[in-house]
Chain A
Amino acid sequence: AQSVTQLDSHVSVSEGTPVLLRCNYSSSYSPSLFWYVQHPNKGLQLLLKYTSAATLVKGINGFEAEFKKSETSFHLTKPSAHMSDAAEYFCAADTGGFKTIFGAGTRLFVKA
């Protein structure tokens, strides 16, 4: 069965330092993978997506993620955190059917 695991429920960084949000997936085939961001009381906004093209995917707001098949990972990174990055981040996988499976989310805190 497909699953998405976000390894940290909370991550706290200082402004200007790198961000790493970890995501592992379990799938019987190469899925499409996504990262979404959710600001308080808002819907989800797509940050980036991997669809079997380049393994390093660049998204909006300076975020990028690297697909590593051998590690079944799709970690989200950003070189320098900004206060406006504080939000909840969801990793998701397209199962190839009709559902998208979401991880439980990682809440990112950015300290001044």
Chain B
Amino acid sequence: NAGVMQNPRHLVRRRGQEARLRCSPMKGHSHVYWYRQLPEEGLKFMVYLQKENIIDESGMPKERFSAEFPKEGPSILRIQQVVRGDSAAYFCASSLQSPAREQFFGPGTRLTVL
């Protein structure tokens, strides 16, 4: 059973470009969570999604950030018009049920904005 997959592992963008981060949950998991980790900080919750639904996006910045988890395919975290402050590691986690008693994390996508 493959774990949580994220791609790309590293992403470099120039200011103003768009960044798309993908997350494939573990097989059978229908709950996906996105977290952001800034340098020297812990993980900050961004958004929680089930298939085709955003359940809680209270941690998402109000502008430029969006997330989806379509019926088919991976979950996508999209950042429009990236700025240097968006540089961080973005982690996806999935769980079998919610409220989650255990989340399984992907390896993360490290976004660098030049």
- Residues of chain A touching chain B, judged by Cβ–Cβ distance below 8 Å, are 6, 32, 34, 36, 41-46, 49, 51, 90, 94, 96-105
Question: Which residues of the partner chain A approach B59 to less than 8 Å between Cβ atoms?
Answer: 99
B101-A44 in contact (CB<8A): no
Q: How far is the CB of B19 from chain A (nearest CB, A)?
A: 19
Question: Which residues of the partner chain A approach B6 to less than 8 Å between Cβ atoms?
Answer: 43
Cβ of B18 under 8 Å from chain A: no
Cβ of B48 under 8 Å from chain A: yes
Give per-residue flags for B20-52: 1 if the beta carbon is below 8 A from chain A beta carbons, else 0.
000000000000010100000111110010000
Nearest residue (CB) in B for A34 is: B102
B42-A90 in contact (CB<8A): yes
Segment touching A, from B61-69, B70-78, B79-87, B105-113:
B105-113
B100-A104 in contact (CB<8A): no
Cβ of B103 under 8 Å from chain A: yes
Q: How far is the CB of B16 from chain A (nearest CB, A)?
A: 27
B105-A44 in contact (CB<8A): yes
Q: How far is the CB of A112 from chain B (nearest CB, A)?
A: 25
- Residues of chain B touching chain A, judged by Cβ–Cβ distance below 8 Å, are 4, 6, 33, 35, 41-45, 48, 55-56, 58-59, 91, 93, 98-108, 110
| Residue of B6, B42, B55 with highest tally of chain A CB at under 10 A | B42
| Residue of A34, A36, A100, A103 with highest tally of chain B CB at under 10 A | A100
A99-B45 in contact (CB<8A): yes
B102-A102 in contact (CB<8A): no
Question: Which residues of the partner chain A approach B33 to less than 8 Å between Cβ atoms?
Answer: 98, 100
Nearest residue (CB) in A for B110 is: A41
| A11 to B46 CA separation, bound complex (whole angstroms) | 29
Nearest residue (CB) in B for A46 is: B102
A101-B108 in contact (CB<8A): no
Residue from the list B44, B99, B101, B106 in contact with A97, Cβ < 8 A: B99
B42-A100 in contact (CB<8A): no
B42-A98 in contact (CB<8A): no
Question: Which residues of the partner chain B approach A98 to less than 8 Å between Cβ atoms?
Answer: 33, 48, 55-56, 98-100
